[in-house]
Amino acid sequence: MHEKVAELLDLLRLERIEDNLFRGQSRDIGTRFVFGGQVLGQALSAAQRTVDPSRLAHSLHAYFLRAGDIDHPIVYLVDQTRDGGSFSVRRVTAIQHGQPIFVLSASFHLPEPGMEHQLSPPDVPKPEDLPESPSLSPEELAKLPAKTQRWLTKRGAFEFRHVYPRNELEPTKRPPYQQTWFRLVDRIDDDPAMHQALLAYASDFHLIGTSTLPHAVSYLQPNVRMASLDHALWLHRPLRVDEWLLYSCDSPSMQDSRGLARGSIYTHNGVLVASTAQEGLVRITGGS
């Protein structure tokens, strides 16, 4: 197995401390604080460990309360709120240095037959017809802080191919939507709970950035501060994150230094497997 994939799987396999208490390690991927997707994936993983495996997550709603410390583990406390005839609900609090940094509510459902419909995917090129994401030149990288350089040069567990790539160092104004293909760089086993946790992790990539497109600003600019405030994920159908998925995002509003973004996630064959929504802080500071 690819080293980065194995590392990410280990990150999401939490240590059980007590019946409803788990501990997860943090991983430095070049961001200033713990990557939001890591906390999302780990919190969902903690909730999954307390639910009958026949029940799969169908929705989660979360708030980011404080920035996570990359150098310390995170403890996840699970409240087994309810187990009904076909639904289970869990609430998870992520704690670091004695304070809550994140809260999540997740609902699980025993699969059952019923009516179905979905919106069609956007008409975009397939991933095999797109180049890999371009890398910045050594001269461009040299202008950035060392931590940011690691973020941009470190090959992670996911591969991304952008339908409409842009230069984050020289952003231009664009309509508030984007599409990105992504997948794990290696094959993993069939555990549906792990595929869901990995999707939760990946769903935090590129989402809130969609709200910056009409304003020609980028997270790489030193006077731009961005942070996730909340995150919602609905899981509609079975999925595999080691096969190509299309993340189609749009941003209906930006106001009061808060951007709202929505996403639809489709398989290579156009099956809608998940939907997302996120509001994030996008603040322009006095620096340049």
pLDDT for the residue numbered 116? 96
Give CA–CA dist 170/165, Å, rounded.
12
pTM to 2 decimal places: 0.93
Q: Which residue has the tokens 């939507």?
A: 177
Give CA–CA dist 231/285, Å, rounded.
24
pLDDT for the residue numbered 286? 73
What is the three-class DSSP state of 44?
Answer: helix
pLDDT for the residue numbered 25? 95
Annotation says 278 is catalytic = yes
Least Cα distance to 88 among 39, 116, 49, 62 occurs for 49
Give CA–CA dist 135/167, Å, rounded.
10
pLDDT for the residue numbered 67? 93
pLDDT for the residue numbered 131? 87
| Domain ranges across the chain | 3-111+126-284
Least Cα distance to 23 among 74, 66, 93 occurs for 74
- 42 and 198 in contact (C-beta within 8 Å)? no
DSSP category for residue 199: H
Give CA–CA dist 31/147, Å, rounded.
7
- 280 and 255 in contact (C-beta within 8 Å)? no
Annotation says 228 is catalytic = yes
Annotation says 251 is catalytic = no
Candidate list 107, 203, 204, 248, residue with the active-site label: 204
Q: Which residue has the tokens 């906390």?
A: 39
Candidate list 179, 228, 248, 264, residue with the active-site label: 228
Q: Please give the average pLDDT of every successive group of 10 residues along the chain, which has 288 residues.
A: 94 97 89 91 98 98 96 97 98 97 98 96 96 71 66 77 88 95 97 98 95 91 91 98 98 97 98 98 80
Least Cα distance to 210 among 268, 238, 251 occurs for 251
The CATH class, in words, for 3-111+126-284 is: mainly beta
CA dihedral of 116, 119, 120, 122, whole degrees rounded to 10? -150
What is the three-class DSSP state of 30?
Answer: coil
Q: Which residues are paired to 228 by β-bridges?
A: 280
